[in-house]
């Protein structure tokens, strides 16, 4: 099964069907926070819904068209990080993530994204990784900003959440930019 060890306490691992109840419990515990940013919460009403989400992620993984991973800290599920799709031959993906409110503020998502980038640009041979976030979601936007992604613009009224339209700030990092940043860090 696909997994990436970020450090001694933090890992990403592909969701399995048996994770459906734990994932639903995490969504339920964070529902108020998640509803503020994600339209999918309206359709997540029980473990069957998270099971369907996991099965979709497993199908995409098997087809080479994305995946959904649990963010696991010290053996405890604390969030989700996934690739919504992978386009070929262009080598483009869009990444999304969310974290348990109690686990926020410790850099877990930043470390997880940074730890996954070598796999995306190396093993998967992707050329472009995008992250989109509601412009009002400062915490979510801080992740790509810390990691050297460039904000390329704002897509206006691209989403619909609870009957209200919202925008997406679009960030992207290219393989060459990632390599240059990694090489510059290694030189210092």
* Average pLDDT by stretches of 10, the chain with 188 residues: 92 96 97 92 92 96 96 97 96 98 96 97 97 96 97 95 93 96 69
Q: Where are the alpha helices (DSSP H) in 71-174?
A: 108-118, 138-146
Distance CA 126, CA 187 (A): 24
Q: CA-CA distance, 157 to 173, in Å (whole number)?
A: 23
What is the distance, to the nearest Å, from the Cα of residue 62 to the centroid of all Cα atoms in its chain?
18
What values do phi and psi take at 140, rounded to 5? Answer: -65, -40
Task: Output the pTM of the full model.
Answer: 0.93
- Cα gap 55→103, rounded to integer Å: 26
């Amino acid at each position: 099964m696909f997994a990436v060890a970020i450090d001694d306490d933090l890992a990403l691992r592909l969701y399995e069907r048996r994770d459906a109840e734990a994932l639903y419990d995490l969504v339920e515990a964070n529902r108020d926070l998640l509803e503020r940013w994600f339209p999918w919460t309206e359709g997540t009403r029980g473990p069957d819904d998270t099971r369907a989400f996991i099965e979709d992620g497993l199908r995409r993984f098997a087809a080479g068209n994305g995946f959904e991973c649990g963010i696991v800290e010290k053996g405890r599920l604390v969030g989700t990080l996934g690739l919504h799709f992978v386009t070929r031959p262009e080598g483009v993906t869009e990444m999304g993530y969310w974290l348990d409110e109690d686990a926020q503020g410790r850099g877990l998502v930043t470390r997880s994204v940074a730890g996954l980038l070598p796999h995306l640009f190396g093993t998967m041979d992707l050329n472009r990784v995008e992250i989109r976030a509601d412009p009002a979601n400062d915490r979510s936007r801080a992740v790509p900003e810390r990691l050297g992604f460039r904000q390329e613009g704002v897509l206006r009224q691209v989403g619909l959440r609870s009957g209200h339209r919202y925008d997406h700030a679009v960030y992207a990092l290219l393989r060459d930019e990632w390599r240059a940043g990694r090489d510059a860090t290694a030189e210092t």
